Structure 1
Amino acid sequence: MNDTVDDNVETNTVKQLDTVVVTGTKRNTANSAKENLKKIPGTASVVDNSEVEKGRAANLEDVLAYQPGVFAAATGGNGANFVSIRGSGINTFYGGYARGIKYLYDGTSITGPGGTQETFLTPTGVNYTEVINGSNAFAYGATALGGAIQFTTHTGRSSPGTYIGLEGGSYGYQKYFLSHGGVSKNGNTDYYIAVSKNERDGYQEQTPVDGKDIVFNVGHHFSDQLTGRFIFRYREEKFYNGGYLTLNQIENNPRQVGSTVYGRDNWSGLAVGKLDYTIDDHSKLELSLGYNKFDLDNGVGSSWYNDWPSIYITPTIRYLRSNDTLFGLPSDTSIVLTQTYLDGDTDGNVRSNGKKIKTYTTDYSGSRDTAFAISNDLHLNDKTTLTTGVSAVEVLRNIRTDSTTSALSEVKYDKWYVVPRLGLTYKFTPELQFFTSLGRSVDAPVTWGIGGNNLSNVQPQKGTTAELGLRLNTDHLDGSLAIYRTWLKDEIHNIVVTPATNSSAAVTANFNASPTIHQGVEAALSAKLWQGANGDSINLRQSYTFNDFFFRNDSDLAKNELPGLPRHSYEAELEWRSTKGYYAGADLRAVSGYYVDYKNTLKAPSYAIWGLRAGYEAPDQRWKVYVDLKNLTDKHYVAVASSSYNYNGSDAAVFWPGDGRSIFVGTGFRF
């Protein structure tokens, strides 16, 4: 008998395969976003919010740490964030509307003619955050000096199951978080809902914060070509501002109340509908419509007030064509049309016997910002990509006031600008990339910077930025280095003429400055210093920013430095991380002194604060716990300052103190 079996003859032998277990897992798209940003010929970075949440994650100061070119400081605990990229919005007020940066949620802008209401600038329900410096944010239709910050909301695929988070710590800080996400049985629908509440008594006396969030995100796969998504966010927040202090007061007792104590009561609601249609293997069409309604009651608890109710309506159309050819070369093209229309006004400004008495009304309705941008990446060869683009930008301002104290009763203009962009990336090796770019920027003045009880005819700010740098990515090193210079014309500045008091609102002046220069260095490097045989590692991450901002040749101020931001800032963290889920590290934030007046007579002092962080996150990500210690030496320091023309070298009550020594603990469970 022949014992051999021909391979082509069927047998009844059954071979049992190994058991395959399919489980639902979190889908982390932060890494894919990071890969996409590497194509940009300039500084751009991604923050994975799960990494931030291994310590306190209360505000943008926490989220934007270690990002080159970015200065972020929280002046009121969870609220009143001051964020600047490359000197954007260098002088503005805190705890109301941000400016100089375009903020987006899931590709839809929440920034418009009135700037960005800061109520939404919290990390609730956010999967990852993109930070795109300067004109590098061209693809988002962002032409502001600072670029764009884009938040991507969790979905049922990126955050499945039920998650409960609890945080608490110094100065009465508490945060409660609950979310649930999932995918339908047929896999066509995903959903995510989150609710959050945060409280804080405040570092300064009489500075409580109380906020609430609701986030909802549902997506549906209609067919292989068509998907849809609806995103809803709501936040309300009330906080009190402890008021400015002098340097002497901060040195001796930074927790004392300043001369002004008043509150802000904010709420915002955002609804976004999106449709994505895949035309073919090369092209895709994205449509979205955002409706953002928000209100700021500024001056709670004082005898003056400002009501700022507003609505932004933002339609956006994007056409993406990839893996195409142009001039016989591989090509990727994007076209975006986005517009934000404002319907809103400001009422002011006194209270009597608990009732509001209107003394003026300024109507901003009809103002809008429009951008139509076309960009192309042409791959000249395997190593070289040429980036070109052009954008048409419209700035329409329609502002009317009935104030009897204003010299102007109306400011109205409709202006168009052409904003070109040219860039080049070259790969020396797969790990080392060179980039350079030249681009324009246009910053439209925010409506409240033009109008109020006194109108001023502030014009758009224009700039040209040249940038070059290197990007490195290996198994042990990940970083970037960029040098840039921006030539600005009509830079928009906002200075405090008379600070707010309990009985009167602040008097500010907005104006276009003479030509200025913004230039600097942006560097970031994460290094794996040691790795054990079992996979444990010691890692160092660092970021350094050099800001050199000055007047070119002002008739009065010559080449004085622009006030409001430090020339040098450095952040670093040295961390040990175990494959079993344990981690521990020390961090440092060092900031140089900087002028706070245009005459360069008064400086905010330099400071360095240290922190420690340790925790455990289960390898299956089912639960975690952390402890986060900040400002270990209880350093008394200035978080931000309010700028004016000339303080004559005298100590003035224009400084906000940073938090003292504090400890925060947190835990989370997923099931």
Structure 2
Amino acid sequence: MSSSSHAGRRGRIAQHTRLYTSALALLLPAFAAPAHAALADAAEEPAPAAEADDDAGRTGSTITVTGKRESEVATARARVDRIPGGASIIDSEDVERGKVATVSDLLAYQPGVIVQSVGGNDGIKVTVRGSGIVNGLGNMTEGIKYLLDGVGLTGPGGTSYELFEPLGLRYTEVLRGSNAFDYGAVTLGGAVNFVSRTGLTDPGVRLGIQGGSYEYLKAQGSVGGQTGNVDYYINGVYSRRTGFQEQTRKRRIFVSGNLGIRLSDAVQTRFYARYANEQHLQSAPLTLAQLKDNPRQTSAAFRISQADVDKYGSYSFANTTDWAIDANNSLHFGINYSSTPQHINTKIPFPSDSRYDDLNVSLRYTNTSDLFGLPSETNLGWFNARHVKGSTTAFSAALNHAVVKDNNFSGSYDNVISLGNSTELAPGLRLLLGVSAIEIRRKVSIDYTAAPINAGQTDKVNYHDWTVAPRIGVSVKPLSQLELFASYSKSVNPIATWGYSPSTYSTIVNYVKPLVDQKGETAEVGFKVKSDTVDASLSLYRSWIRNEFLLVQVAPATATSAALVTGFNASPTIHQGIEAGLTFNLWRGGDGSALRLRNAYTYNGFHFRNDPAFGDNQLPSIPRHFYQGELVFEHASGFYVGASVQSASSYFADYANTIEAPAYTILGAKAGYRSPDERWSVFVDGSNLTDRKYVAAVSTVFNAKGADTAAFHPGDGAAVVVGATVNF
């Protein structure tokens, strides 16, 4: 290696060190108070035996009157808190104190999670640790495993977002990176698990409505109950929105339900069903000049094409069965069949139909027997996701809808076998070991194409690969409320089936090659602090990625053609970052009133490593610094009021790093009342109160050469939403 290369590498290391040092300098004052509070609380904390004696003196009726909903979330939070790494629980009761339009509202204030939403529809892009960093908006979501009630929804083609609905959930698990190991997730981004309300957790009838700016309206009705060993829950949601930007109308109908049966004291089973029907228009990215002039406009090309995404009847049927074999052994079985058809109706040039029918099966065995006399938990799992049917067909609007391309992906699958163990080597010291074997098959057939297939490519793909991904971690609790952790893991991101389409492989110089799986290695260190006053976490990670799958807009949409977007495997890349969360109870009154400050900060340091064309350029499409904060006062009577801020740094919109989405800060506020008996509630929620013109997301281009390119999607202007809920 030349001396100049050594100097360049030393310079990059120094730069990264300065970035981490600067970020930590900003964060440490905030975390110093939590750490000090933890030490103080630990010194005053009563002995466990005293707590046990106190509990023993209470009557059973006093404990159970508080309700089952709180205990279920508390149990989930305690389980997730034992994960030594980035993981959290989102309580839906907290989220529903304000607007809950899409999953973007649900996933707010989560460190490491960046959500980009444009047009007000449900086709949001969720990025965790840079997973699917430049995937298109409104497409199948990538790089994260999504689960419904612990059963996989993600298939070989990704995850269709219309089956997500935040209303009707009890809580949500967010498990970043390898912290989702127990769900068979081996992707860089980890997993998100949506957990439904049931007749046990939410008996009775709930009616809710919210509406406001841009003709937004959302109505919900649910009913749950229990009869003997059987419980049920049914939920229906209708929403619509005309939209902030021209051509962003949206309409959605969603119905879900579940039926639980306790077959015996040891065996219980639950059946789930979901149905979604969504239609929304797609609007255009703008130039910065257009956005600053009038962010509500669209382009002439999009006005002519009128792209209309019609997800006209997606459904999912699932079952989970749990068997408590004995005190130390349990078995969990899950199966989910989902169908997600889609029609994109556009006047020019290529309308399309697609359909993915996926079968997900999982089997998890857990043993909690001691290992060599030490407390231990061992998990053995099998997770299989398969395209029973997968296809896309494109038509020519100019040729009476004649077929111009027909792709068949049926038979593709992802297969994961995992073995993990957590052993307490000494009080407060745990060791985690795990290994996953991942089998990936992609079967693609271009049954017909009117355009010629690129030279060197074929109309058939039969990709098959096995990968072994180990995981090792350690956690230390020097104090009962302070935990330190470190881990190393490997990740595998299979290419989605829609990415394999030989007639449209990238023709970009230096990137013409068959697609292969994205693989990486991640090191993570951090700590957690939990007390009555503070809930804080800090994770620092660095991932070395090979063959990262990236998308790029090769040609923009015109009056006679759609935008040309293609995918490719990049040269080696680095993903590194800081994920910091801090919830601080600033004041607590004797009557139960409280003042709470919530913070979530994410640093994304993603860049190429010695790329032939781009050197060490930053990866585009995502802010390097992202912060969300909220200050809320809650009165014991049920009244609450709060103010919020969201701030993002500038970020590039092209791989050549020549154009940027500007930094922005937007302000929000909310107020509401929830009756002490939880029978009814009202709220008012305001966002972007200063009516800031800002870029919510970008359509990444290859090299804009510094020109103001139509790559910027506007965020919503000032908006107010009011809502009410009644339970009886």
TM-score normalized by the length of structure 1: 0.95
| Contact 2:285 2:710 (C-alpha < 8 Å) held by counterparts | yes
Matches within 5 A, 1:133-172: 133-172=176-215
Structure 2 distance, partners of 1:295, 1:369, is 21
Question: Secondary structure at the residue paired with 1:196?
Answer: strand
Aligned pairs for 1:200-599 (under 5 A) are 200-258=241-299, 259-260=301-302, 261-266=306-311, 267-322=313-368, 324-342=369-387, 343-352=389-398, 356-401=401-446, 402-403=448-449, 404-407=451-454, 408-451=458-501, 453-455=503-505, 457-501=514-558, 503-599=560-656
Map Cα deviations across residues 274-303 of structure 1 (whole Å, 9 max, x no partner).
Answer: 211111111111112110011121244544
Question: Match of 1:36?
Answer: 79
Aligned to 1:191: 232
Partner of 1:83: 126
Q: Which residue of 1 aligns with 2:20?
A: none
Give, in whole Å, the separation in 2 of the partners of 1:502 and 1:337. Answer: 49
Q: CA deviation at 1:619?
A: 1.3
Amino acid at match of 1:332: E
1:144 Cα deviation from its structure 2 partner: 0.7
> Residue 269 of structure 1 contacts residue 292 of structure 1 at CA under 8 Å; is this kept in 2?
yes
Q: Deviations over 1:529-567 (max 9, x none)?
A: 111222211110000000000111112211110111000
C-alpha contact 1:217 1:230 (8 A) present in aligned 2: yes
Cα pair 1:360 1:453 within 8 Å, conserved: no
Q: Deviations over 1:443-502 (max 9, x none)?
A: 000011122752572100000000000101011100100100000011110111123446
Cα shift at 1:20: 9.0
Q: Take 2:338 and 2:345, find their aligned partners in 1: how far apart are those partners?
A: 23
Q: 1:474 to 1:250 in 2, by over 3 A?
A: same
One-letter code aligned to 2:486: T
Q: Which amino acid aligns with 2:169?
A: V
SS at match of 2:565: strand
**Quick check: 2:459–2:502 contact (8 Å CA) kept in 1?**
no
CA–CA separation in structure 1 for the residues paired with 2:346 and 2:256: 27
- CA distance in 2: counterparts of 1:159 and 1:280, whole angstroms: 29
Q: Greater share of strand residues, 1 or 2?
A: 1
Q: SS where residue 351 of structure 2 aligns?
A: strand
- Please state whether the residue corresponding to 1:216 is helix, strand or coil: strand
- Give the structure with the higher percent helix: 2
Please identify, of 298-307 and 596-605, the stretch whose mean Cα deviation from structure 2 is larger: 298-307
- Give distance in 1, aligned partners of 2:155 and 2:63: 49
Separation of aligned partners in 1, 2:514 and 2:559 = 29
Distance in 2 between the 1:452 and 1:262 partners?
A: 25
Alignment partners' CA distance in 1, 2:60 and 2:424:
45
Number of aligned residues: 651
2:161 match:
118
Alignment check: 8 A CA contact 1:132 1:149 kept: yes
Match of 1:45 in 2: 88
Distance 2:653 2:172 in 1: 30
Q: Is the 8 A contact 1:621 1:670 kept in 2?
A: yes
Question: In 2, Cα distance between the equivalents of 1:587 and 1:450?
Answer: 43
| Match of residue 5 from structure 1 | none
**How far apart, in 1, do the equivalents of 2:376 and 2:151 lie?**
25
Partner SS state of residue 218, structure 2: strand
8 Å Cα contact 1:303/1:502 also seen in 2:
no
Task: Verify the 8 A CA contact 1:397 1:411 in the aligned structure 2.
Answer: yes
Structure 1 residues 207, 415: closer, same or farther in 2, change over 3 A?
A: same
Partner of 1:10: none
Q: Could you tell me how far apart the structure 1 residues matched to 2:440 and 2:712 are?
A: 34
Q: Which amino acid aligns with 2:274?
A: R
Q: Distance in 1 between matches of 2:116 and 2:657?
A: 22
Alpha-carbon distance in structure 2 between the residues aligned to 1:19 and 1:321: 32
Q: Distance in 2 between matches of 1:21 and 1:222?
A: 26
User: Any conservation in 2 of the 1:43–1:133 contact (CA below 8 Å)?
Assistant: yes
- Structure 1's unaligned 5+ residue stretches are 1-16
Give the partner amino acid of 2:94.
Answer: E
SS in 1 for 2:178: helix
Q: Of the candidates 97, 101, 109, which is equivalent to residue 58 of structure 1? A: 101
Q: CA deviation at 1:239?
A: 0.3
Write the distance in 1 (CA, Å) between the matches of 2:73 and 2:93. Answer: 10
1:501 and 1:159, CA in 2 relative to 1: closer, same or farther beyond 3 A?
farther
Q: Displacement of 1:349 after TM fit?
A: 2.7
Q: Residue type of the partner of 2:471?
A: R
415-424 vs 71-80, which deviates more? 71-80
Equivalent-residue separation in structure 2 for 1:540 and 1:23 (angstroms): 30
Contact 2:117 2:137 in 1 (8 A): no
Matched-pair contact (CA < 8 Å) for 1:304–1:503 = no
SS in 2 for 1:275: strand
Q: Does 2:140 correspond to 1:104? A: no
Provide the C-alpha distance between the structure 2 equivalents of 1:97 and 1:462, rounded to a whole number of angstroms: 20
Q: Is the 8 A contact 1:462 1:489 kept in 2?
A: yes
**What code does the residue aligned with 1:417 have?**
T
1:26 CA drift (Å)? 4.7
Q: Tell me the CA shift for residue 506 of structure 1.
A: 2.6
Question: Partners in 2 of 1:156 and 1:40 — Cα distance?
Answer: 29
Match of 1:202, as an amino acid? Answer: G
How far residue 105 of structure 1 moved from its aligned partner, in angstroms, is 0.3
CA distance in 2, matches of 1:501, 1:194: 42
CA root-mean-square deviation: 1.7
Identity %: 39
C-alpha contact 1:60 1:74 (8 A) present in aligned 2: no
Conservation of the 8 A alpha-carbon contact between 1:73 and 1:81 = yes
**TM score, norm. by length of structure 2:** 0.87
- Residue matched to 2:30: none
What do the CA deviations read for 1:551-605 (whole angstroms, capped 9, x no partner)?
A: 1111221111011100000000001001111100000000000011111000000
Q: Secondary structure at the match of 1:80?
A: coil
- Name the counterpart of 2:9: none
The DSSP-based 3-state class of the residue aligned with 1:135 is: helix
Contact kept in structure 2, 1:162 and 1:179, CA below 8 Å: yes
C-alpha contact 1:197 1:212 (8 A) present in aligned 2:
yes
Conserved in 2, the CA contact under 8 Å of 1:411 and 1:457? Answer: no
Which residue is equivalent to 1:615? 672
Q: Which moved more, 1:74-83 or 1:422-431?
A: 74-83
Q: Is the contact made by 2:695 and 2:713 (CA closer than 8 Å) also made in structure 1?
A: yes
Counterpart of 2:310 in structure 1: which amino acid?
A: D
Q: Is the 8 A contact 2:256 2:275 kept in 1?
A: yes
Displacement of 1:31 in angstroms is 2.1
Distance in 2 (CA, whole Å) between partners of 1:121 and 1:74 is 14
Deviates more, 1:583-592 or 1:503-512: 503-512
Q: What is the SS of the residue equivalent to 2:401?
A: strand
Amino acid at match of 1:339: N
Report if the CA contact (8 A) 2:348-2:398 is conserved. no
Give 1:356 shift. 3.0
